[in-house]
Amino acid sequence: MTSVIIIVAVVLILSILYLIFRIGVLSNVLNSRYQKTVGVGNTVNSFLFIAVFVLGILAFYLSFESARDKFLPEAASAHGVRTDLLFWVIMAVLTLAFLVTNALLYFFPYMYRFKEGNKAYFYPDNHTVERIWTIIPAIIMAGFVVYGYKEWHEITSPAPADAEVIEIMGKQFAWQVRYPGADGKLGKYHYRKIDAVNEFGIDFNDTASYDDFIPMELHLPKGKNVHLHIRSRDVIHSVFLPHFRVKMDAVPGMPTKFWFTPTISTAEMKVITNNPDFTYELACTEVCGRGHYAMRFLVVVDEPADYEKWKASQQTWASLNAAYVATKAPKALKDKYLKDFLPSSDSAAVAVPDTLKPAVVSMHADH
Amino acid sequence: MSAANMSHSGSLSDAHAHDEHDHHDLPWIRKYVFSEDHKYIAKQYLVSGIVWAIIGGLLSVLFRLQLGFPDADLTWLKPLLGEWIQNGKLDPEFYLALVTMHGTIMVFFVLTAGLSGTFSNFLIPLQIGARDMASGFLNMISYWLFFLSSSIMMISLFIKTGPASGGWVIYPPLSALPQAVNGSGLGMTLWLVAMVFFIASTLLGGLNYVTTIINLRTKGMTFTRLPLTIWAFFITAILGLLSFPVLFSAALLLVFDRSFGTSFFLSEIYIGGEALHNEGGSPILFQHLFWFLGHPEVYIVLLPALGVTSEIVATNSRKPIFGYKAMIFSLVAIGFLSFIVWAHHMFVTGMNPFLGSIFMFLTLIIAVPSAVKAFNYIATLWRGNIIFTPAMLFSIGLVSFFISGGLTGIVLGNSAADIQLHDTYFVVAHFHIVMGSASFFGMLAGVYHWFPKMFGRMMDERLGYVHFWLTFIGVYVIFFPMHYMGIAGFPRRYYSWTGFDAFNSFTDLNELISIAAIMTFVAQFIFIFNFFYSMFKGRVSTLNPWKSNTLEWTTPLNPEHGNWPGAIPTVYRWPYDYSKPGAPDDFIPQTVPFSATPESNFPHEKDEH
């Protein structure tokens, strides 16, 4: 019943609007205003350009001021500070161009609005002027290219040999990270070795795999170079660390890399932002399906000493999942690396003991 | 040369006499459905484009409701959306389907078919002085392939698993694997089939445009006397002919990967509890192929709008367009460069960084011809005698968007700055202003300007003014704040941001954007009312209501198939002789010979013999 009333009301309102419009048209016809090509509307529109420009610039200024504290949150990486500067330098030039061209674009319609008896100035071209406004943008662009290239070249240069290697893997819909452990080498992987337990598809024929660990947070050392090895196991994701100005796609079948230097620890950032609950975050920026908006992963930047302490406190994934690994590992490696973690060397090779399962489940719990 | 032209137009007028005879004998289905008259086909494209624009706009309103009012109860939409509303909320997968279809519809069906299809078809024969397109039959097929494509895309909106939902760029593996998202099942199949027909339609259209412009120009209509609209359509058609086949190949390979087990784009995937057999494919290859079309596509939608604007700005400033030749050179330069900048969409895909620097360099070069165009528009306004028709207002609006959105492209084209901005709302703001809104304004400007030629009646001016100001302000209120969100790092295609501390702000701004979007959408109905009302009840137009120089205004009020009842007029001068010193009127149509205007001729201007 209510919907019928709403429909009737809408129809009535629309018919009233139509009648008003029709009466307006007819009265204009009677006043013979209707035949004129250029009426009062012309002047009104030319004034509106000025009004919209002035109010628009005011709105631009006020909204910019109110939003600016959220712009480019404090850069927490060495290259981030430089790309922020690049961004603001370019934006300053562009804002100037925006204001000048738009001012002309809005003032000319007002200044040169139709006036009876006026004649426009026949001015088909002027090669000097055209050359000037071709060359000036070209020079500015050349400057941007050189400046941008310098930064880009440095950011994408090969990672320093001493960088901390950390692997990030995207999947629907969570991130997982793997550290190389004491040997500093990530164990090999293959996508066919992935299963419900071994989410990374770690290859336990590789001795480097046994000391790798898979924590629940991404820890980064302050002031040291970090080299991210990025991959995906299903669709394309994209690693986005907003505070570190890091973004790189995670592509299945094509590992990608990004290296950078965190410069502000989480504790320091809590002071800077005046927010005791501050945490760094990792987000996904390539649409990957239903849970795209929820691929959040916590990031912590430690002082170098704390970072080493944290690393030392992590248990290797192989030790936490010894029974599972034992089913995959060749005998020699099993004896070498897993002896201490298996109840007895022959019984565990058959099945995963129930006691280990909760730990395994929590490892790949989706967020 | 001129003898050849003579016999050419002579034979056309014979053909025309024949046409005239045919015209009355045509059954209604050949006249009103399967018409071969370019003017009627243009109207078919226009009305289809308007229908699609309403649907595309409605989809955006739906997802703006989610973004602006994440806590609102949307149960009232259940009659429309059914199972896509769960517990009063939009389903997150349906949200992705909405953004995907909004993009697909707006880019391809509205701004490619609706804009280029309408005005290339309508204006090319009328402005170059031809009876019709080179092949009216292919032209008709082109529209009906588009219609078929539209129907398939429309059907995909109503299937149970939903339409394609991997973004309008349909990157595999997401678009290749139904396990990854429901929309990649039947919805994606329909998307690909629809696009195949769409590409075929575009190619037939483009072939016709190019052939017609090269071969069917009337006597005296040299390339340097073509209106800039025709130049823009010409370049656009060439871009389409060269780039759409690449999208076709990408789509075809994707079909193979989806249905026949090949591995062009798929490699080393573990999904849904199983490892797929595909190895050795490259998802990045698809992105290269897609953007090889995708970037020229930006100009395929923008150039016609710029052409339309050039014509309207000159006419209503009562001045020649400033730097006619520079405008042509910049069109050609933009068209050429558009083919070698595609990888600026891929700076952070893992592509070789050296390639990134090359593409940054090439991308920023585009700013130069674009800047020339913007400056030339402004210079055309300078010391004009400007008449604000609704078409003129929309054209000025277009120039404003072209500048604002073009400028932000310069930041995004800089690879180092793009690291942070890529796939954030900054990008959304950028392309919605420069490509979406600017092209959309070009389309509206064109409709307001050529409505009298299309339907013999005038649209209501005052409604046009109201429509312009609401839309113009609306567009800026919607998209300008999105820059702020982008600078703050907000990623695109997020159903909700509240899960992140970093993005858990700007809720007021999102609300404002959504309200503005809804109001702007509603304001479009003023136009739709004006359009259909004026079609039947508008004031009857005069023959040349804007006092314009181009040829279409020399046809009868409602031209029949064949356009000119007698011989096709001959052209003697360029189309921009407005306010020429010494001339009694402020315009001299292209059909007036120099011998008739001794008082205003420059020394070098005399008729050729």
For the stretch B175-207, pLDDT in tens is: 999 999 999 999 999 999 999 999 999 999 999
Q: Which residue has the higher pLDDT, A73 or B110?
A: B110
In this model, does residue B482 exceed pLDDT 80?
Answer: yes
Nearest Cα to B411, choosing from B487, B341, B466? B487
The CATH number for A256's domain is 2.60.40.420
List of chain B residues whose C-beta atoms are within 8 Å of the C-beta of residue A90: 410-411, 414, 417
CB contact under 8 A, B317 and A49: no
Interface of B with A in 145-164 (CB under 8 A): none
Whether residue A251 and residue B400 make contact (CB cut-off 8 A), yes or no, is no
Please tell me the distance from the alpha carbon of residue B58 to that of residue B64, in angstroms, as a whole number. 10
pLDDT for B15 equals: 45
pLDDT at A344: 62
Distances (CA, A) of A196 to A142, A348, A362, B399, B563: 52, 18, 12, 56, 71
Query: How much is the pLDDT for A24?
Result: 81
Cα B506-B86-B497 angle, rounded to 5 deg:
20
Three-state DSSP state, B547: coil
Structure-token match 């084209």, residue found:
B413
Q: How confident is the model at residue B442 (pLDDT cuts 50, 70, 90)?
A: very high
Residue B323: which of A102, A130, A233 has the nearest Cβ?
Answer: A130
Structure tokens at A273: 């932002």
> How many residue pairs from chains A and B have C-beta atoms closer than 8 A?
346
- Residue-wise burial string across B266-295, b where 16 or more C-beta atoms lie within 10 A, e elsewhere: bbbbbbeeebbebeebbbbebbbbbbbbbb
Beta carbons within 8 Å of A231's beta carbon, 6+ residues apart: A167, A168, A169, A170, A250, A251, A252, A254, A255, A256
Phi, psi of A284 (to 5 degrees): -105, 130
To the nearest whole Å, the CA of B580 is away from the closest chain A CA by 6
Q: What is the mean pLDDT of residues B19-26?
A: 57
B283:A245 CB<8 A = no
Contact criterion met (CB < 8 Å) for A290 and B181: yes
Residue with tokens 């992105």: B287
Residues of chain B with C-beta less than 8 angstroms from the C-beta of A290? 92-93, 96, 181
Mean pLDDT of B60-78: 92
The whole-number pLDDT of residue B18 equals 46
CB contact under 8 A, B416 and A71: no
Chain A residue numbers with beta carbons less than 8 Å from the beta carbon of B280 are: 253
Q: Does A168 reside within a domain? A: yes
B309 touches chain A (CB under 8 A): no
Q: Which pLDDT does position A341 carry in this prediction?
A: 84
Give the pair of three-digit tokens for residue B497: 């941001």
Alpha helix ranges (H) inside B157-276: 186-215, 228-259
Contacts of A24 in chain B (CB under 8 A): 462
Q: What does DSSP say about strands A164-171 and A226-232: parallel, antiparallel, or unpaired?
A: parallel
Q: Within a 13 Å sphere around the CA of B523, how many CA atoms are in the beta-carbon half?
A: 19
Name every chain B residue with its beta carbon within 8 A of the beta carbon of A73.
488-489, 502
* A84 is a domain residue: no
CA distance B107 to B302: 11
Q: Percentage of chain B with pLDDT > 70?
A: 96
- Non-local CB neighbours of A167 within 8 Å, separated by 6+ positions: A177, A178, A179, A180, A186, A200, A228, A229, A230, A231
- Mind spelling out the 3-state secondary structure of chain A? CHHHHHHHHHHHHHHHHHHHHHHHHHHHHHCCCCCCCCCHHHHHHHHHHHHHHHHHHHHHHHHHHHHHHHCCCCCCEHHHHHHHHHHHHHHHHHHHHHHHHHHHHHHHHHHCECCCCCCCCCCCCCHHHHHHHHHHHHHHHHHHHHHHHHHHHHHCCCCCCCCEEEEEEEECCEEEEEECCCCCCCCCECHHHCCCCCCCCECCCCHHHCCCECCCCEEEECCCCEEEEEEECCCCEEEEEHHHCEEEEEEECECEEEEECECCCHHHHHHHCCCCCCCEEEEECCCCCCCHHHCCEEEEEECHHHHHHHHHHCCCHHHHCHHHHHHHCCHHHHHHHCHHHCCCCCCCCCCCCHHHHHHHHHHCCCC
- DSSP label at residue B460: P
Please judge whether B578 and A120 are an interchain contact, meaning their C-beta atoms are less than 8 angstroms apart: yes
Q: Chain B residues with CB inside 8 Å of A52's CB? A: 469, 472-473
Option in B348, B502, B580 nearest A281 (CB): B502
Best to test chain B binding among A145, A155, A203 (most B CBs inside 10 Å) = A145
Nearest by Cα to A256 from A236, A241, A285: A236
Residue in chain B nearest A189 by alpha carbon: B268
User: Considering CB atoms only, which of B353, B484, B586 is closest to A120?
Assistant: B586
Q: What is the DSSP letter of B578?
A: B
**CB proximity B399 to A under 8 Å:** yes
Tens digit of each residue's pLDDT, chain A (367 residues): 677 888 898 888 888 888 888 888 787 777 765 556 677 888 899 999 999 999 999 999 999 999 988 898 899 999 999 999 999 999 999 999 999 999 999 999 999 999 888 889 999 989 999 999 999 999 999 999 999 999 999 999 999 999 999 999 999 999 999 999 989 899 999 999 999 999 999 999 999 999 999 999 999 999 999 999 999 999 999 999 999 999 999 999 999 999 999 999 999 999 999 999 999 999 999 999 999 999 999 999 999 999 999 999 999 999 999 999 999 899 888 888 888 888 764 544 444 444 444 444 444 444 4
Query: For B373-428, what is each residue's pLDDT tens digit?
Result: 999 999 999 999 999 999 999 999 999 999 999 999 999 999 999 999 999 999 99
Q: In this structure, which long-range contacts are made by residues B481-484, counting pairs with CB atoms below 8 Å and at least 24 apart in sequence?
A: B481/A63, B481/A67, B481/B509, B481/B512, B481/B513, B482/B425, B482/B426, B482/B428, B482/B429, B482/B432, B482/B513, B483/B408, B483/B425, B483/B426, B483/B429, B483/B430, B484/A63, B484/A64, B484/A67, B484/A70, B484/A71, B484/B509
The answer to whether the CB atoms of B379 and A144 lie below 8 A apart is no
Phi–psi pair at B188, nearest 5 degrees: -70, -40
What are the residue ranges spanned by the domains of chain B?
A: 222-266+283-371, 388-541
Is A153 within 8 Å of B393 when comparing Cβ atoms?
Answer: no
Q: How far is Cα B329 from Cα A134, in angstroms, rounded to an integer? A: 12
Report how far residue A249's alpha carbon sits from residue A222's, in angstroms, rounded to the nearest whole number.
24
Distance from CA of B155 to the nearest CA of A (A): 22
- From A291, which residue of chain B is nearest by alpha-carbon distance? B92
Domain that holds residue A304: 164-363
Q: How far is Cα A291 from Cα B268, in angstroms, rounded to an integer?
A: 21
User: Is residue A300 a part of any domain in this protein?
Assistant: yes
Q: What is the pLDDT of residue A36?
A: 60
CB contacts, 8 Å: B403 with chain A? 97-98, 101-102, 105
CB contacts of B267 in chain A (<8 Å) are: 252-254
Q: Cβ separation of B349 and A25 shorter than 8 Å? A: no
pLDDT at B21: 46
Please tell me which residue of chain B has the smallest CA distance to A251: B283
Q: Is B463 on the interface with A (CB under 8 A)?
A: yes
Closest among B243, B306, B249 to B111, alpha carbons compared = B306
Least confident of A39-43, A114-118, B342-346, B495-499: A39-43
Contact A105 B481 (CB under 8 A): no
Shortest Cα distance from B194 to chain A (angstroms)? 22
Query: Which chain A residues are Cβ-neighbours of B509 within 8 angstroms?
Result: 67
Give A250→chain B minimum CA distance, Å: 8
Residues 476-505 of B with CB under 8 A from A: 476, 480-481, 484, 487-489, 491-497, 499-503, 505
Q: Using the beta-carbon criterion (under 8 Å), do A71 and B539 form an inter-chain contact?
A: no
Counting beta carbons within 10 angstroms of the beta carbon of residue B530, is it exposed (0 to 12), middle (13 to 18) or buried (19 or more)? buried
Q: Dihedral through CA B561, CA B567, CA B572, CA B578, nearest 10?
A: -50
Contact between A322 and A198 under an 8 Å Cβ cutoff? The reply is no
Q: How many domains, in total, are found in chain A?
A: 1
One-letter amino acid at B424 equals T
Residue B7 is predicted with a pLDDT of: 39
Q: What is the pLDDT of residue A35?
A: 57
Question: Which pLDDT band, with edges at 50, 70 and 90, does B80 fall under?
Answer: confident
Decide if B381 and A201 are in contact by the 8 Å CB cutoff. Answer: no
Question: Which residues in chain A have their CB less than 8 angstroms from residue B487's CB?
Answer: 71-72
pLDDT at position B2: 39
Chain B residues within 8 A of A284 when measuring between CB atoms: 491
Q: Would the pLDDT of B8 be above 60?
A: no
> Is a pLDDT exceeding 80 seen at residue B325?
yes
pLDDT band at B609 (very low <50, low <70, confident <90, very high): low
**Chain B, window 330-389: residues with a beta carbon less than 8 angstroms from a chain A beta carbon:** 348-350, 353, 356-357, 360-361, 364-365, 367-368, 371-372, 374-379, 381-388
Residue pLDDT, tens place only, B259-318: 999 999 999 999 999 999 999 999 999 999 999 999 999 999 999 999 999 999 999 999
CB contact under 8 A, B269 and A252: yes
Q: Do A122 and B579 touch (CB under 8 A)?
A: yes
CB-CB under 8 Å, A122 with B506 = no
**Separation in Å, CA of A87 to nearest CA in chain B:** 6
Q: Which among A170, A191, A189, A169 is positioned nearest to A178, based on CA atoms?
A: A169
Residue B608 CB neighbour total at 10 angstroms? 10
